[in-house]
Amino acid sequence: MFPFDQKLFNFIHNLAGQSRVLDFLGIFLADYLGYFLAVIALYLIFSRKNVMARYRYFLFTALTLIISRGLLTEIIRYFLPQSRPFVVLSFSPLISPDFSAGFPSGHAAFYFALAFSIFIINRRWGWILFAGALLMGVARIFVGIHWPSDIAGGIMVAFISFLISYFVLKSIIPIGLGSAQADKTP
């Protein structure tokens, strides 16, 4: 845990339990928003008119997600295990707890990697997914299952994974910013 973690965590998490509406919103954003983000991403990938563009974007997104959530997050958690806030501070979180290491956040690593990937397809929707992933990250602090550094670590893992995928695949398949450039190539 980093020095600012406790203060920022307390600031956000102390809002929990103050309002049933706010608690419901926090639980929804922490647990269910990801499904909507994934559906949006799948729609954006598979709505490409060019079949090869669909294939490229799907391959790029899948590789980014596998590296982010499947590899880097688990490697970091193995070597740098960090207890979650509800364990350290002995309270019950608002959602079902996961007792595995919390750093980096697997949700943040996954959904920010998804947002970075979608940004390549469509900048506007990429920003929307970034906003959704950020809301989810703050909500996961609010409900008590992550420290702020867990979320920040997940964002960094997602960005590194995005860069790895981009540089590995750019010489094999054309992937460019915006939908027009990459969709034109057969």
pLDDT by residue for the chain (186 residues), tens only, comes to 567 888 999 899 899 989 999 999 999 999 999 999 999 999 999 998 888 888 889 999 999 999 999 999 999 999 998 888 988 888 888 888 877 888 999 999 999 999 999 998 889 999 999 999 999 999 999 999 999 999 999 999 999 999 999 988 887 776 665 444 444 443
Q: Nearest 5°: CA angle at 34, between 85 and 60?
A: 110
Residue 31 has, within 13 A of its CA and on its CB side, a CA count of 15
* Cβ proximity of 49 and 182 under 8 Å: no
Q: What's the pLDDT at 1? A: 59
Tokens representing 132?
A: 């959704």
Domain boundaries, the chain: 18-83+100-173
CA 101 to chain centre: 16
Tokens representing 128?
A: 């929307």
Residue in the block written with tokens 């994974």 = 161
Q: What is the pLDDT of residues 110-159, one digit of tens each?
A: 999 999 999 988 899 999 999 999 999 999 999 999 999 999 999 999 99
Q: What's the pLDDT at 179? A: 41
* Helix 123-142, helix 33-46: angle, nearest 10: 160
Long-range contacts made by residues 35-42, C-beta under 8 angstroms, separation at least 24?
Answer: 36/132, 37/111, 37/114, 37/115, 37/129, 37/132, 37/133, 37/136, 38/114, 40/118, 40/125, 40/128, 40/129, 41/114, 41/117, 41/118, 41/129
Amino acid symbol at 90 = S
Q: What's the pLDDT at 186? A: 38
